[in-house]
Chains A and B, each alone.
Chain A
Amino acid sequence: MARDHSELERELDSLLASYREACPAPEASVGFMPRLWERIEARQNTSWLLKRWTEGFVAAAAAACLMAFLLQVVPDDAHAAVYNATYLEVLAQERSPENSVLLDVAAVAYPDQYSADIGSK
C-alpha cells in the first residue's frame, strides 16, 4: 500500500513535470503592445471620468452641507422679536409696575377705553 502510494506520488510528479513541456509559453501576437496600450488608455479614460464624477459629487455635497450649516447658524431677523423672549418674560413685562402706573394714568385720562381694564383689576 505504502509502495503504491509512493509510486503514485512519483507518477504525479512526472505528470506535472511533463505538463510544463506540454504548456510552452505561447508567442505574443504582433498586436500585443498596441492592444495593451489601448486597454491602458481606455481604463485611464474610465477612471478619469469616474474621478471627475466623484469630485463633482463631493463638491455638491460639501456645498449642501455648508448651506444647511449657514441656515442653522445665521439668525432670521424677521422672526427675531418673537423668539428673543419667552412667553413668561413677555407676560411679566406686560404686568410690570411701570406699566400698571401708566395704565392707571390712562384710565383716568381715557375712562371710556380703560375702565373695563381697571374694573377687572
Chain B
Amino acid sequence: MLVDFEVVRKAQVGDAGAFNLVVTAYRRRIMGTVARMIGRPEDVEDVAQEVFIRLYYSMDQLRSPEVFEPWLYRLTVNASLDYLRKRRRRSESRMADLSEQQVMMADAAAGTRWSEEEAQRAKTREMVDALLSEVSENDRVLLTLKEVEGLSLKELQSIYDVNESALKVRLFRARQRVLKAFARSKDEKAAANAKVRTANSSSGGK
C-alpha cells in the first residue's frame, strides 16, 4: 500500500485532502499501467483522470481499505477497456491514431532528431501494439497485466473476481493468439528481407 488505511478511510467519508493524498500516491503507478494497456501516450492522462473520477464516486462502495489496491486496479482495467473500445469505434484516419512509424516520419520531416534508443523503443511499442491488436480488448488488458505489469495469478483473481483455472485458460488462449501473430509477423519480415536481398544482388550483378 502506498498510503495508510486511515487515509483511505478518510477519503471514503469525503475528506478531499485525503483523496488528494491517495491520487498523488497512486498517480504515477496508474499512469504507467494505463500507458502500457492503451499504448497511446497522448491519452494516458485523460484515462488516468477517469480512473480517479470513478474512484471518487465509488469510494463508498469499498468494503474495507484492505482491498483498496485490487479495487483501484479494477477501476483502471475498466477505464482502459472503455477507452480501447471507444478508440476502436473512432475513425482511424486521425493523426493521433497514426502508427508510431508514421509519427516518427512526421517528426523527422519536422526536423526532430530521434535518438537511437528512442527509435528502438518506438519500434518495440509499435510491434507490441500490433501484436496485442490481434486479441480482444479484454485479452489485451489481461495479457498486459500478466506479462508486462507482472501481476500474479492471485492478484489477477482479486481484480477479475474469477477462479484460477478460468483465468489460466483465458491467458493461455490469448497468449497463443499473440504468439501466432508474432510468428506471422516474423515470417512476413523474413520474406520482405529476402526480397530486398534478391533485389540488391540482382542490381549488384548488373
Given A23-B39, A23-B125, residue A32 in contact with residue B182 (CB < 8 A): no
Asked if residues B36 and A32 are in contact (CB atoms below 8 Å), the reply is no
Chain B 105-139 against A: per-residue CB contact (8 Å), 1 yes, 0 no?
A: 00000000000000011101101100100000000
B169 CB to closest chain A CB, in angstroms? Answer: 18
Residue B190 at the chain A interface, CB threshold 8 Å: no
Name B's A-contacting residues (CB within 8 A).
20, 23-24, 27-29, 31-32, 35-36, 39, 41, 44-45, 48-49, 52-53, 56-57, 120-122, 124-125, 127-128, 131, 147-149, 175, 178-179, 182-183, 186
Asked if residues A8 and B31 are in contact (CB atoms below 8 Å), the reply is no
A-B CB pair tally, cutoff 8 Å: 79
Given A23-B35, A40-B53, residue A28 in contact with residue B45 (CB < 8 A): yes
Q: Which of A9, A24, A39 contacts B179 (CB 8 A)?
A: A9
> Looking at the complex, which of A12-20, A87-95, A96-104, A112-120 is the stretch in contact with chain B?
A12-20
Q: Nearest 8 pairs between A and B by C-beta?
A: A25-B32, A22-B121, A22-B124, A19-B128, A16-B147, A23-B36, A23-B35, A22-B125
Question: Beyond the given A8-B183, A23-B41, could you list 12 further A-B residue pairs with CB under 8 A, ordered by the A residue number?
Answer: A8-B182, A12-B182, A16-B147, A20-B149, A23-B35, A24-B35, A25-B28, A26-B44, A29-B45, A33-B24, A36-B52, A40-B53
Q: Which of B29, B147, B148, B183 contacts A25 (CB 8 A)?
A: B29
Given A8-B183, A26-B44, residue A32 in contact with residue B125 (CB < 8 A): no
Name A's B-contacting residues (CB within 8 A).
8-9, 11-13, 15-26, 28-29, 32-33, 35-36, 39-40, 43
Provide the bound-state CA to CA distance between A33 and B48, in Å.
11
**B42 to chain A: closest residue by CB:** A26
Asked if residues B179 and A26 are in contact (CB atoms below 8 Å), the reply is no
B175 CB to closest chain A CB, in angstroms? Answer: 8
**A11 to chain B: closest residue by CB:** B182
Asked if residues A43 and B53 are in contact (CB atoms below 8 Å), the reply is yes
Asked if residues A20 and B35 are in contact (CB atoms below 8 Å), the reply is no
> Residues of A contacting B49 with CB < 8 Å?
32, 35-36, 39
**B180 to chain A: closest residue by CB:** A8
Provide the bound-state CA to CA distance between A6 and B79, in Å.
34
**B121 to chain A: closest residue by CB:** A22
> Residues of A contacting B32 with CB < 8 Å?
23-26
Given A8-B179, A19-B148, A23-B35, residue A28 in contact with residue B125 (CB < 8 A): no
> Residues of B contacting A21 with CB < 8 Å?
121
> Residues of A contacting B53 with CB < 8 Å?
36, 39-40, 43
Asked if residues A19 and B36 are in contact (CB atoms below 8 Å), the reply is yes
